[in-house]
Structure 1
Amino acid sequence: MINQTTMNQLHEMHLSYLAKDIRERIEDKSFMELSFEDQLTMLVDREWHRRKSRRITDLTRDALFCYKNASVTDIDYLPERNLDRRLINELACCGYIANGQNVIVMGATGVGKTYLACALGTAACRERYSARYVRIPDLLEELSFAHSDGSYRNIIQPYRKVRLLILDEWLLSPLGAEAAKEIFEIMECRSVGRLSTIFCSQFDTTEWLERTCNDLLGESLLDRIVHCSYKIVVGGESMRKRRGLKD
């Protein structure tokens, strides 16, 4: 029997779930018949899995994914989408994050770029990498307000340091000089720190320079993105239209 002092100590060490598990297990005759080593293994294993599950839940919540339940296993590999299942499964293993590489997802409106990016983001969280999803218009607006109220340093830090940043609607509107400078500062920090970014864009990379103020700053920005990126081109018609037809 575990005495109350030990239980109190477990609670003080923030091991309340383990304490609860022990209380339940000592009432289980089959558990009490196990060796001490087997009992300890079972208790530690349950606590480890509980903490892992909670960590994944917290990371997924904090990532602010547009599609909160996006999963690589639910991606539709219709022939007209031209998706490379092998590549996507490889990316879902998150080796590109460990290596500090990027992913560029290109395709027309509605073909499922955002869902694919969020699915890869969810896979990253399951591997216990931090992630953050944001639309470029929202990011630029947030940074603009942060400049005016003095919170810029605090606001920009997560975008500089998160292990996987997902930038949606990339270059949907051309970047002016100030916007390009803001994004450059983020990407420079991420490049130095070998942190990964997923870009979702309607435009091929050959068109990016003319949409990033077409100057030395734009060239420097794209140099930090394009040359160390996996590229996925999503084909087919709008998935929204397809679902609408089915409905």
Structure 2
Amino acid sequence: MLAHPTQERLIALGLGSMAKAFDDQRRQPDIAALSFEERLALLIDRESTDRENKRLVARLRFAALRQAAVVEDVDLRSARGLDRALFQKLAAGDWIDRKQNLLILGPTGVGKSWLACALGHKACRDDRSVAYYRMPRMLEALALARGDGRHARMLKTIARVQVLILDDWGLTPLSAEQRRDLLEIMDDRHGKGSTIVTSQVPVDHWHEVIGDPTIADAILDRLVHNAHRLILKGESLRKQAAKAIMLDAEVTA
């Protein structure tokens, strides 16, 4: 008789998954073979697992990762110079706890963005907050935010995430306003969060992209000096995939 009132109370307490698990237990004919402690543990496990899954979905939605990449799918055997030991160390996430940064460098198409998103996804799974931005669009968004009063709030949001991914760094030279925004971001995050940067441009040329030597020194001092580096090389993976498709088409023709 107490089954339904108990389920209703669990729901009223915000324990919806536990209530569902309780209802499932009532429908299992062999559940009586388990002890009270075992049945309670199953209820708690269901509630805990469902809450963790909901938090992960929320973190991934906020992160807005460009690609659905996971570290388990990274091909460590491909000929692109990926340091296997370093990547596995990065996937473990200790560098995030130490508030260090990561630079993923190399020519277009070698998988820089994919690797960054895979590490971002792993960070989300590890209960860390992540935000992904393509660098040009982030700077455009900040410019718009400055005009409608959201600028300070947006900078605060970017500063708070544990892992910030800045994709396509250095595609175009920065304006004076963009330099100031980038310095604010790097200064806010220095020693407080980790930043992943992907770029086709070698680090030696980043001063030229940023423009102002003084501001460039300040930005790079906060970003580069405590950063790990993944330097990729080789032919574009997209070109390789296109060649494979064409070859298959020729074979089947």
> Residue 205 of structure 1 aligns with which residue?
203
Distance 2:176 2:205 in 1: 17
Residue deviations 1:151-197 (CA, integer Å, cap 9, x gap): 212222221111111001111212222211101101111114x2001
Give the 5 Å matches for 1:47-66: 47-66=47-66
* Residue 171 (structure 1) aligns with: 170
C-alpha separation in 2, matches of 1:13 and 1:19: 10
Letter of the 2:62 partner, please give it: D
Show the counterpart of 1:135. Answer: 134
Supply the distance in 2 between the matched residues of 1:239 and 1:201 (Cα, whole angstroms): 16
Q: Is the 8 A contact 1:117 1:198 kept in 2?
A: yes
Deviations 1:45-103 (A, max 9, x none): 12212221222122112211110x20112222345301111211111111111110110
Q: Is the 8 A contact 1:25 1:32 kept in 2?
A: no
Distance 1:31 1:204 in 2: 63
- In structure 2, what is the Cα distance between the partners aligned to 1:15 and 1:82? 49
1:229 pairs, out of 227, 230, 238, with: 227
Instruction: Assess if the C-alpha contact under 8 Å between 1:26 and 1:32 holds in 2.
Output: no
User: Is the 8 Å Cα contact of residues 56 and 128 (structure 1) preserved in structure 2?
Assistant: yes
Identity %: 37
Between 217-226 and 53-62, the greater mean CA deviation after superposition: 53-62
- Structure 1 position 20, deviation (Å): 1.3
**Tell me, what secondary structure is at the counterpart of 2:10?**
helix
Q: TM-score w.r.t. structure 2 length?
A: 0.92
Q: In structure 1, what is the equivalent of residue 152 of structure 2?
A: 153
Q: CA deviation at 1:8?
A: 2.3
Is the 8 Å Cα contact of residues 103 and 228 (structure 2) preserved in structure 1?
A: yes
Q: Where do 5+ consecutive residues of structure 2 fail to align?
A: 246-253
Counterparts in 2 of 1:80 and 1:27: CA distance versus 1, 3 Å: closer
Say if 2:41 is the partner of 1:18: no
Question: Is the partner of 2:65 in helix, strand or coil?
Answer: coil
Contact 2:17–2:46 (CA<8 Å) still a contact in 1?
no
Spell out the pairing of 1:1-247 with structure 2 (5 A cutoff).
2-67=2-67, 69-192=68-191, 194-247=192-245
* Secondary structure of 2:104's aligned partner: strand
CA–CA separation in structure 2 for the residues paired with 1:30 and 1:169: 57
Structure 1 runs not aligned, ≥5 long = none
Q: Following the alignment from structure 1 to structure 2, what is the Cα–Cα distance between the partners of residues 162 and 186?
A: 11
Q: 1:218 to 1:5 in 2, by over 3 A?
A: same
Question: Do 2:16 and 2:47's aligned partners in 1 also have CA atoms closer than 8 Å?
Answer: no
Q: What displacement does 1:217 show?
A: 1.2
Tell me the distance in 2 between the aligned counterparts of 1:56 and 1:211. 36
2:230 counterpart SS class: strand
**Matches of 1:198 and 1:58, distance apart in 2:** 21
Larger CA deviation: 78-87 vs 99-108: 78-87
Amino acid at match of 2:165: I
Spell out, residue by residue over 1:116-173, the C-alpha distance to the aligned partner (whole angstroms, 9 max, x if none).
0000000101101111110111001101111111121222222111111100111121
Matched to 1:123, the amino acid is: K
Mapped contact 2:179–2:215 kept (Cα < 8 A)? yes
Aligned residues: 245
